[in-house]
Amino acid sequence: MNIVSPPGLIRPLRPARRALVLALLATTAVMAQVAPTPSNVDIAENTATKKEKETEAVQLPAFEVKSSKDQGYFAKQSVSGMKTSQDLADMSANVRVIPRDLIDDIGVPESASDTLKFVASGVNPYVRGEQMQIRGQRVGFTMVDDIPDLSFFADNAGIDTYEVLKGPQALLYGSNPSLFGLVIKTTKKPLPEFQGSLGASIGDYGWKRVDFDITGPLAKGFSYRIVSAYQKSDGFNESYRDNRRIVNSTVQWTNGKATVRASYDWHQFDLGTFDAVNVIDNRGPILKPYRSPKGRFFRYAPSWGTYGLYFNDLRLNATYQWNENWQSRVYYQTERGDRPSIDYLYVGTRDFAHDTLTLDYFDYDENFESKVYGTDNIGKYTIGKVNLQTNFGYLYDTRKGVGETFTYTPAFITTSFSNPIDFSKIAVPSSPKNKPSPNREDGTTQTYYFLETLSMFDDRLIVNGGISRIKATNPQAPSNDTQDSAKRAGIVVKPIKNVSLYYGYATMFQATSATTIDINGNRLPNRLGEGNEVGVKTDLFGGLVNATVDYYWLTLSNIPVPSGLRNANGVGYYLLSPERKYTGYEADLQFQLTKNWQLTTVFWTGETLDTDGKRASNTVNESAGAFTRYNFTEGPLKNWNVGGGTYISGNRYFRGGQSFDGYSVTNVFIGYRYNQNLSYTLRVNNIFDKEYVAGAWSPGDADVGDPRMIRLSVEYRFR
């Protein structure tokens, strides 16, 4: 299949590039006026010391990173792209690793998408929370330690790194990943030495947060780690409140060859019922949040209840090193959750011509549980002058609904745009909720995979290929059993030292759920995909410049598209888009500009075309981002640091010609390290107070970006 990039594909990004360059120049100018802080990371070290630091004992056997804290902004290895520790330069795909130091500096603990948009090409928010787009298309759930996670909202307090894997990943990760890529969160692991931190923050709109992280050894090979967070946030209005309680606890035992770990996570989110907050003025091609006469953030619904999320996760993981070349791991997770939306209204219809707004009543409470278990195995050996690596394993994933209540009343109440009623006087509907539905099983997937990698000519040529067998079972679907395979192949050529040319190919298969139905109640067919990617990776000037630049072309079949229609019970119907084609360019660039100055920049431009050759609905076609930090190590500003970043998004387009404008948002911070233990940080997010739509489910249901927010934090680290 030959897909030719349309003429002028890169031209739309030019305004974004100009804005990004101006932002970077402004940041540079500010830093030049000031003059030299050691950050949490002492990056004022020579290249030899850096390489030495990279090889320190920060990894567990082959499968996972123990800690990326104090390792700087730039990572050169992934543990998820191949399910084993692997140099990024040896992988035939664009894989981006975001270490903990960069996560901390971006300083947005509530959302993966709002962190990654600055520093991972082609990653953009889809709606509020963990939902995001990669390469112009919404992707599914993120993963935690290679295990599918079912939370729409999450917190990064217990996360050590984000890994963004571009392209189809079904071979290694089953049918959950999309064609475009997935995000894997690697959690903080117990460390062999005692250390910890305590942080506290305050900010605008009643934002308060406390973070606690402690780890260390116990007796006879045991160690522990406890990470917790408490957040109280009123939000810029009550619909955007975001209160959290997080506890991640881990106990680990190791004797050198074997490592056994048990983790228990408890997450409780108390969120505003934000669906009703934004009324969209759709009287023109440019969609805009409607400004109420009562104020910019006035809410067209009463605050009856809470959109809550409660999760309990238990994860068990065991790895064993059979010898210096062969290792295995087994893992198990059980997750129980509750996703209640309690007594709230959301926008049904709007009529600007007659000054009326109709709200629907919605009450939803879902309880569910999931189980995941599997095994991964890796072996390295040599035949002649060829080094080989074998990966094989098995993944089982199931989700079951264990009871839910659901009430939906369309056109519950009608009010006026210009003179809305006093919502505080609206009573909660007295009609009883529907009885809990019987237990249902949404289905299971089983994946068997095999991947072989060959490395020749002193690692100048690396070739891999593999296949997986995916079996999906859905008791509620017309066809209970579906089977298909996913394939993967790639080649990496290194014509000169520190330069890698690569090509990657992969396919995907994803079974649709029983609720993905058309207006006649028929379940839509399974999704199939094929992806190609070609690119170049460099690691130049002793590690001072790292870059990945690629071009991709992807095809996805049988795409479900929300129709905007619901049945009497509120269940949404879908339309079927037979095929979409995706093309695009990406660049991820990292610079060590001076011994104290790090900069990461990302660019992406692409197209998403439906079967008729027109741009697909709810897509963003271009974005760019940058993030930087400068540490002052001498002079009057010694022990200070300054940094920040800019994110630029193209417009969000919907079929029919309507769109939300593109936008840019800039965050900055300044920090001071009082001593080795105590530090302070002042951040200003959205410093120019831009008004923008960050994401949207549809033309009438959007998430407005946060206004300017100022936060002051203090952290005490102890050892």
- Residue 463 scores a pLDDT above 90: yes
Q: What is the pLDDT at residue 30?
A: 35
| Alpha carbon 479 to chain centroid, angstroms | 32
- Calpha distance 229→159 (Å, rounded): 12
What are the structure tokens assigned to 218, written together?
């116990």
Q: Are 626 and 599 in contact (CB under 8 A)?
A: yes
What is the percentage of the chain residues whose pLDDT exceeds 70?
A: 86
Mean pLDDT of 478-501: 87
User: Could you tell me which residue, 22 or 514, shows the higher pLDDT?
Assistant: 514
The residue among 437, 441, 417, 525 whose CA lies nearest residue 479 is: 525
Q: Residue 441 — pLDDT band, cuts 50, 70, 90?
A: low
Q: What is the pLDDT at residue 552?
A: 97
- Residue 4 scores a pLDDT above 60: no
Q: Is 221 left (phi over 0), alpha (psi -120 to 50) or beta?
A: left
Give 551's strand partners: 534, 585
CA 486 → CA 175, 508, 562, distances in Å? 9, 5, 27
Q: Which domains does the chain have, with CATH numbers?
A: 11-718 (2.40.170.20)
Q: What is the H or E stretch that residue 103 is in?
A: helix 100-106
**258-296 pLDDT, tens digit each:** 999 999 999 999 888 766 667 888 888 999 888 888 887
- Residue 147 scores a pLDDT above 70: yes
- Residue 421 scores a pLDDT above 90: no
- Residue 389 scores a pLDDT above 90: yes
Of 269-283, 303-317, 472-486, 617-631, which one has max mean pLDDT? 617-631
**74-121 pLDDT, tens digit each:** 888 888 888 888 899 999 999 999 999 999 999 998 889 999 999 999
Mean pLDDT of 243-270: 93
User: Could you tell me which residue, 250 or 705, shows the higher pLDDT?
Assistant: 250
What are the structure tokens assigned to 496, written together?
């000169």
- Residue 13 scores a pLDDT above 50: no
Pairing status of strand 137-138 against strand 132-134: antiparallel
Mean pLDDT of 649-660: 92
Burial (Cβ within 10 Å: 0-12, 13-18, ≥19) of residue 435: exposed
- Of the CA atoms within 13 Å of residue 24, those in its CB half-sphere come to 21
User: Could you tell me which residue, 360 or 96, shows the higher pLDDT?
Assistant: 96
Q: Are 639 and 673 in contact (CB under 8 A)?
A: yes
Listing DSSP states for 393-454 in one string gives: EEEEEEEEEEEEEEEEEEEEEEEESSS---GGGPPPP-SPPPPPPPPEEEEEEEEEEEEEEE
